[in-house]
Structures are given as C-alpha cells and as structure tokens.
Structure 1
Amino acid sequence: MLSNKPAHHRIWTRLDLAWLIFLGLLAAYWLRLDFSHQNQLAQAQVQAQLRASQAAHALSMQVRSQLLGINFILEHLIEHWQDHDEAVFRKLVGLAQQGIFKGSLDVIIVTDAEGKVLFNSHTQSDQPVSELSVAKRDYFQQLAQRNEPSFLISRPVRNVLTNQWTVQFSHNMLIDGQFAGIILASVPAEHLAEAFRQVYPAHEDVVLLVLNDGQYLARTHALEESLDKKVPAEREFLHRPDLQSGHYNAVAPIDGVERIYAWHRIPDFPAVISLGLGREKVLSSVQLAIKASKTQNLLATILLLLAALWITRLVVIKAKQNRALLQTQERLATLLIRVPSGVLLEDENNRIVMVNSTLLSLLNLDAEPSSLIGLHHSQLLTMLGQEQAAWLPMARNNLKQRQLREVKDSAGRTFEIDWVPIRRNFRSLGHAWFIQDISERKKKEQELVTLATTDALTGLHNRRSFLDILQQQLKISTPHCPGALLLLDIDHFKRVNDTYGHPAGDLVIHNIAQGIRDSLRQDDITGRLGGEEFAVLLPKATLQHAQQLAERIREHVAATPTITQTETIYVTISIGVALLYGQDENSVQSQADQALYQAKNAGRNRVCCVEYAADEVEQA
C-alpha cells in the first residue's frame, strides 16, 4: 500500500498539472474572447461613425441645395422688386411660399438703405406698411457694409406675435454697386427640424444644424430648449475651421443621450450639419451578440470543467468551429441569393469559389451556379458571348485597388462592373466581381439633370443653366466671331395677364418660347430668365448677324398670335443686343439690358443694340 503512494502521488501531481494547464488555457481563452468582444464593439463603433459620416455628408449636400434655392429665390425677388411691379412681386412670393418653403414661410420683408420696411408679406397690397425699421438688427448692419451681393443666415429669434422661433435668411440689394436695402425671408426653425425629423425620427438619433460659431439653427429633438443656446465649446468644428468634416462621441447636455456624432460643413455657407446616432441603439445588436457569445462560451466552459478531458474539449471546439463554418456558409449562400447584384467570387488563382444566379442572368449564361465552382476564369470567358466576356477581363493579382467602371450592352442597358480585391496582411486571397444593372438609376439621374436645368413652363434653359452656358461662351469668344447675347422682354405683358388672365399669359409665354426656337439656328441657345424675360445666346455670331436674327425673332413673334378658346392675342417683344467678346458675365448682361431699355423707351416692338466703336464694329 505504501508502494502505491508514490504512484498515487504522481497521478494527482499529473492531474494537478493537467488542471493547472487546462485552467491556464481556459483563462487565456476567456481573455482572448473578451479582447475579441471589445474589438467587435470598436469595429461596430467605427462602422457607425462611417455611416454617420456618409449620412452627414448627404444631409449637408441636401441643406446646401436648399440654401442655394433660398438664395436664388431671394435674388430673383430682388430683381423683380427693382422692377417696381408689386403685383408680380407678391405673386412670386406666393410661388416661393408654395415652392421651396413648402408653405412654411413666416414673412418676407424688404427695406430701404436706411432699414425702413417698405414691404411686408403679412400686409395686403391695399394696406399701408407699418412704420418699422430693422436698421439696428445685426443682419442689416452686416449686409449694409458689403458692396457685393451677399447672402446671410442669422441666429434664431422668437416671433413676439406667433411665439415661435424663426431663422432669418437675408440678402442685400445693390443698385449700381451701392447698398439699397435688404430682402429677408423668415422661416420657422420647426420647419427645418421637421425636415430632418422625417429622415431620423427616433429620439435616440439627432440632427443638428448650427452656425459656424456653434449657434443652434435647428435640432430634431428638444428644439425649444436648444435654440437660444450654442453647442459646447469643445466641439471640434468650432476651433478647427480648417476641417471640413469629423466625428466625436459625446453625451448631449440637452437630453443626456450618449451618441456617436459625425459632422460636415455645408459648402459655400457658414453652417455645420451634425448627425448623432444613439450609441446604445447602434451597438445594441453587437452587445446582444456578445452577450449570446458569452452565454454560449460559459456553457461550453461548464461542460469542459465537468468533462475535465482534453479530448472532450477538442471535440467541443471542433464541433463549434464546424457549426460556425456551416453557419457562415449558409449566411453567405443566403446573401448571394438575396443580393440584387451579380456576384462572382474567385480565389487568388482565378478559380471560381462562388457565383449567384443573378450574375448568370446578367451574363446571359444558361447554367447552374454550382456547375461553375472550380472552373478557371479563362474557362468562364469561353462560355460567354464576346460582349459579356469583355466585361470580365482576367484579373491580375498585383492589383490592390478597387476597379469600378460602367459598360453598355447592345440593347442599350447600362451596367456597373465592380472589381474588389480581397487581401489580408499584404497577401492576396482572391477577388470578387459585382455586376449590377443601373439603367433605371442612370435614367433617373438624367431626368434630375433635365429638371435642374430646364424651365418647366417653356422647356427652355432656366436662368442658372443659361448663365452657366453664357460664362462658357464668354471664355471662347474671339474678335472675328465675337458671339452675341439677346435679351428679350414681352411688351406690356402685365396687360395680357390683367386682360386675359394668368393661364392665358402662361400660354403666351409658351408660344413666344416656341417662336424663338423656330427662329434660331441649330447651335443657338435660348433660355427663360424669369417672368416675361427671355435670353438668346448666338455663338460665333457677328453684330450684323445678331441684329438680323433678332429682327427675325421680333417679326415672327409680332406676326404669330396666341390663340385660346375665346381670344386671339397679339403681343410684341423688345430686344437688346450686346456682343460677347471682351466682356464678363455682368458687363455683357448690363449692356444687353441697357439696349433692351433703349428699345422699350423708343416705343417697344423693336431691336436695339449697344453702340460700339468703329474698330469694334469692323471686327464684329
């Protein structure tokens, strides 16, 4: 029995040593698992920051588009205010209310150079404007000091009548380069907040619109509590004006919610858009997965402790690994079925690992996805038509960057071909092809471009599009082919509206636009600058040619009445002509405008041009 003690002691020593090794390995495993969980949380937070950054950039572009629209509306209203036609001006205010402001416009006012209010959209045309001055307001004093067209966004103020917070958008008015007053549009901050709230309605998420100094302009939640405050001074965009975007994590002092923020400056405007995603909501799925993972590993650990055998541990780990691999394969197979793109996955030797049915459909290949697995890429190319084979050239393993291109097939469809390398630790693991039919998207993009550059009533270029083309033509005009700008205005158009009504007036504008088109050459360009004012650009035309073409347009319009169901309406136009060469955008418009006024003052229904020196006329 004593002789058995050393053996018994050796067994327990070995058992103790085995348990120590086992427990050491088990402790190392749990440390590694905890590190993996922390890494998952970190990766999830990085992905959330990336999503927030992309969304903030998209929001900043949308806000920029809205601000450009408001700026354009104010500039347009300034032009018509200076025409001294209050009826047309009020109509344009109404159109702006129903258009870009979507019925939320609080008030539009116009002042003189001393700050006295000359127009208030709340006051009817037959009522006197109340004695009111905004000369002491910050926005007025800032705009009064600027000798160039300027657009200003002011901090929110509370309307004493409606008790609601409003944001002020103002623009200075200049006459011959001198300050002549301002025009101001007041929009409720709630309108701005509601636009963001429709995209991010959840209370955990928040969208902030602030000025560069941190002053709140809008906030999707807790709006009332924030509008008289600024964001905390430690925010990066306040003290780093050189940065255009960034991100940070913070607990909002207004509502106490911890969020993952991404911010982006709005191009061309002194404002910042900041998107905050609720951290708890963003990370909840990962945290649930971690909790489930810990639960599973705790159960496995209990089993390992009960079994106390290395072979059992190895079997359990192997089983878990196999299960995880099968789950991954099943997820990948489900993803390939559901993904809208065609997917081709190849290894580093250009052999097919996986392919989905969508790809085979896009390539017009009659085969089962499973039949292609293991084939070399060159074998796949031999199965395709010449057109489709050109879409998938043999990939080179030395390519390290994603390759994205668009192609068209013989049927006119557009496809996006995306080649993505798969690498780890500088080693190529293969690559993936993604093919997607984007024909419908390209069609919608073209439709959006057309809407953005075309006047809805006439189908001509709108003001912004026409002025962009004018700038390009000014750069390429030459002394021998100077080109010309025609400004056309319908004579006594207000009488047409007053006599026959605005629908008839719109029909007159439409018919005159068609008459202008019928009188032009193929390369000539025409646009509607607004209201009853049109413009024609004659590339490479001489002064004589421009006058002749202007007369042809004038005669055509005068001889072509607008026929409605009850009336035949005759109208005439006056035309001002100016040469492009040697001019900039402002000067050539000014010259053509002066010629137009000369035609108006000389009795209308005529063409007048700018007087040029003899040498200029000879060159033209």
Structure 2
Amino acid sequence: MSVPACLSTLFASLKFRLTAIGVLVLALGIGLITVQLTQHAERDLLQMQRQRELDGVVRSAAVLSRRCVELQRALRASASLLDEATLADPQRLASALQATPALRELFSYVFVADANGKVLLVADSQGLRHPQVWIGDRDYFQTAITQARPAISEPLPDRVLGQPVVALVHPLTDIGSGRVHGVIGGAMKLASRELLSDLVESTNGNAGDTGATVIVTDANGRILAHPEPRRLLGQLREEPGLREATEAWWASGAPVEPSGLSLPQAGQMVSNAGVPGPDWVVWRLLPEEALLAPLHQARREALQWAGALVLLLGACLLLVVAWLLRPLTLLRRRALRLFEPGDHAAGDWPALNGEIGQLSQVLRQVSTAREQVEHLNREVLVKLRSVMNASPLGIAVSRDGKAEMVSDEFCRLFGRPREALLGSTPEIVFGAEPDWQRARAESEAAFRNGQRYQGDWQLRRADGSLFWARLHGRLVDEHQLRAGTVWTVSDISSEVAEREQLAWSASHDLLTGLANRRAFLQRANRLLAERPASLAAALLVIDLDRFKPINDTAGHAAGDAMLKAVAAAIGQQVRGSDLVVRLGGDEFGVLLPSCPPEAAQRVAGHIREAVDSIVLPWGVQKLRVGASLGLAMLDSDTLDTADWLHQADIACYADKAERKREDRQDREVAELPPPPTLRIVGQG
C-alpha cells in the first residue's frame, strides 16, 4: 500500500480520530493557557516600559535644559570681562578671549560682536580670527540687543563655518547705564559630536535601555540631533516609523511639554518631553519587538515543551483506545467479506457484546437486504440500457460529476468507446475549461431552483474536432441532488451555422465584407453616449473619384472588384480597434476611437495614398480611382450621429471640389498632386 493510502486509512480510523480529538483538546488547553499568560506578561511589560520611557525622556529633557543653562552661565561669566572699552581695543579683546580656554572647549567657536552686529573676534581651537561677518539680521542677536537677555538661535547656516549650527549669545551690558554694547556667543555644529550628540549619549543611560533611539527637534519639528547626521535639519514627520506619532503630536498642537507625552505608534514606544528655554523637544523611540524578544523566546520554549508532553500523552491514549476498540476490528474484518464472491449474509459473525454486538446484528440484517436490492437493480439496469440505446439522442447518467451510464448514440457523438466515457468527468467532452465551469455553475443553479437545465455549448470529439450541441439535464430525484443527473445531447451544428450566418449578414456588407451602415450607426451612437470620455474620436468619410466611368465602361463586375480592392486598401491602414464600413455605393467610412486630430490626419493621408495607388488590371485596361476624404472630430457640440456624419460629408464635398479644381489646372499630370491638408470639422 502506498504512503498516501496508508495515511488516508490512518486518518479514517476511529482509534486515530478519538486519539486526535483528545490530543487536540489537550494541546488547545495548554496552548491557550500559555498564550494567555504570555499576553498578560506582554501587556504588563509594555505598560511598565512605557512609563520607564516617559520617565527617561523627561530626565533627558531636564539634562538638556541644565546643560543649556550651564552654557549660558559660562557665557555670562565671560561677559563680565568684556566692557565697552575692551571691545574698542582689539588687543585687550584678544587677551580677554584667550583668558577663557574653558569656554572655547564648550563650543565649536566663541565670538564677540558689537551692538551693530559686526563680529569683532572669533576664538576656536585653532586660535583667534577677525572674520568679515555681520550677524545684525539674526533674530537671536536682535533679541539679545533689544531685550538685553540671553538668547538661543534656531538651527541656521553659520556665516563663519558655513555649516548648520545653534548659537547661544549673552548681551554685554554697561553696568552704570545698562546699555547693551555688544554680545558674546558660542556656536555648536550640529553635525559634530558636540553639545547635542553628547547629550543624546548621556541620556541613553538615564533610561536604562541602550536599544532606544534619541532625537532632538525644535518646536517646529526640525531635527537638531540624530544618530544619523544626514537627517539633521530634516523634518521629524519624514522620519521612518514616526508618522503616526508625529501626526498625533501635531494634532494636539505640537506642545513642548516638560512633563512628557506618550504618543501612539504601531510597533514602537514613542515619548517626548520639552526642554524649557530653547523650546526643544527630546524624542525617544524604542521598538517593541526588541523589548518583547526574550518573552517571545520563552513562549516558544514553553510551547515546545508542551508539544512534547502532548505527543507523549497522545501515544499513551492511542494504545488505550486501540485496546478498547479491538472488538470493532473483528467486526470490520467480517463485514469486509460481504463483498467477496460467494459470501452469504448469514455466514459466521463474531459473537460480540454491548453496542458492538448490536452493530453486528444490524450489519447482518443490512447485508441480507442488500442482496435482495442488488438482484432487483441488475434487472432494472438491463432494461434501462435497452431504452437508452434505442434513443436517437445521446444519453448519459452521471452522479457526483462522473458518468455511470452512456448510450450508444452518446458514444457515437463523441467518437469514444463506452469504457473511456464511463467514470469520466465532463471536462473531456467540453471544448474549453471555462465553458465547462460556466455550464456547471448554470446547471447547478437550475437544479437548486427545482428546474431543468438547457444550454448550447461547443463540445469536443475524441479526434479534437468541435461541434455545437444542445445539452439538456434534469435530476433523477428533484429532492436529492446527489441521486444523479440524466443528460441528453443533440448535435445542432447546422442550426448554429445558419444562425451565425444570419447574424453576420445583418451587420456586414455582402460584397466587401465590411461593416454596414447599421453597424456603423450602432458604434457611432455608442461613442456619442460615452462623451466626454470618447471625445478623442474621429469620423472619416471616403468618396471614390472616377468610379462611375469604371461601371460604365468596364462593367459592374469591374466596379465590384474595385470596391473590394478599395475595402482591402482601407483596412490595411487602420488599427484593429477602428471600424471600416461601406456606407453605400462607392462611399466608405472609418470610425477612429481614441484618435486625436493629428493622428486622424495621418490615417486619412495614408488611406488617400493607398486608394490612389490601386491599379486594377481588367482585360487590357488598368483601372484606377481616387479618393475624396472628409474628416470630422467628435466634440461636445455634436448633436447626434446624423450631425456628425453631415459634418464629415461637408468636409468630403469640400475636398472633392478642391481635387476637381486641381485636376482642371493640371490635366496632363499622370498622377494626382499631393493631397491638400484635410479640413477637420469639429475642431476649434
């Protein structure tokens, strides 16, 4: 026995099912308890960590605030050395700044500017400089001068270093008069490992989790400090994984809250706190996955141990169930012999007790009744086969989608022997898989509604040829779908061919094979109804020149041949989506959907050239015609199809008159001159 068959037998076993149910109940119980406990642990852990994150970001903001205060105090201490006389004397000013090495360690550089904003001196790790820089237009400078108080700038491009910096300034005030005669300030490069980056590193330890990311922004969400320097001066709302949190922050008015905020963000713990003074905001981001990873690992290990325990208990349960159901195995072996030739229902049956013994008695009675029913069924089947084979229709009886009986005519229709059809599914006689799927859906819907089914389909013979057949179906028992279905099949290929020929003739010109005026009107009316989506559509009317002399001199057969040649020439110049029609006589039309005026002009020119180049040998003659064309674009002012056609006719008449005038001027030229530019009706 193959492995799939063994597995199928195992799954059908009552012992296996009872054991599987017990194992499943046990596994579900252990699994639910484990998952419930871990979910509670996850919820508690996340809640505790959110509070830790909030406390940490508040401490970080406090550290940053204290650091800003310390820097301002350092500037204030140095400001006491810079009176107005010192600012006026470059040597004294240089000496004063050289006396503040600690201040220069705190900033990228220290600068002194007079009350007009001129930078007098800059001191950094490289020494002293006198740059030609003016900062009188900076907001922080104006605040320090006009309000005589310290100020912190917003992030801005530095005029000394040419890099983004934050500047802290302190006013230089005359003690006697209180007049501000300049400022002393310090600038810190945002891209270097100075104030903001150092503060970010110092705050990581405060929160107790090095997996968190710390970002510092101003009150407008502009990034001042970031682990990735390329993100500096970018907008926080563009930060990956922070969109939901930043939207919530902006929606609440973008508060700079020193006591801290917890913000929603899928998969992240996001909190922020405001820094009083400079109005900065410290943000902390901690991925929940990193926090919960140990807990998830513990859950996996617990489930693995639980799975091993369930498997062990399941094996024990299987042994117990097998021992309890051993009498049922004996009964099954005896019941299987019922299908052996020569076995009688009254044969020896095992003596069993209890419910299994009662089942044994019932099986003995059923087997006796089965013998009687099988005898009657054999007689009925013989009569039914005789009736089916006498019918002129193909008849098949199917159940569960497979053929159980087929008539001789059914085998003849499909060119297959009876053995190949019995047990087969309808896919082998249908022309295409989608047809079978649709026919099955339609027939099942009819049977569910208590109706018979009828449908015309293309079916396939054994040699691969297709034929049209009418399919009838009805249930053997209308109250029981699984009782089977009776199908009749008749060949209607000739009927379908006649119907298709009539349908084609109703919409096509018999001479040229082109669509006729009726098909043209239907297509044009549809384009008008689809406005404004269909406004890029054009109608081209083609009227043959010098066609009447062909009929008069060479006969109507030559005229018919020329019309066919013109139809073929026009068809070669258009797209598959375009419609070429014979409007009547020697007049043709082309509907060009989705075709702007310039493209329509090109198509018209190609058609004119194709028609003009036709040379039809007819006896000793070589017949030629020309083409006058009228082009009209569909627009919102077009009233109806008749109006659209009338506009194209007007353009065609104008083109024909122009061609006649040119012929009169140059009758000795063998070929027509290049066509004039078509006048398009319907274009403003």
TM-score by length of 1: 0.38
Larger radius of gyration: 2
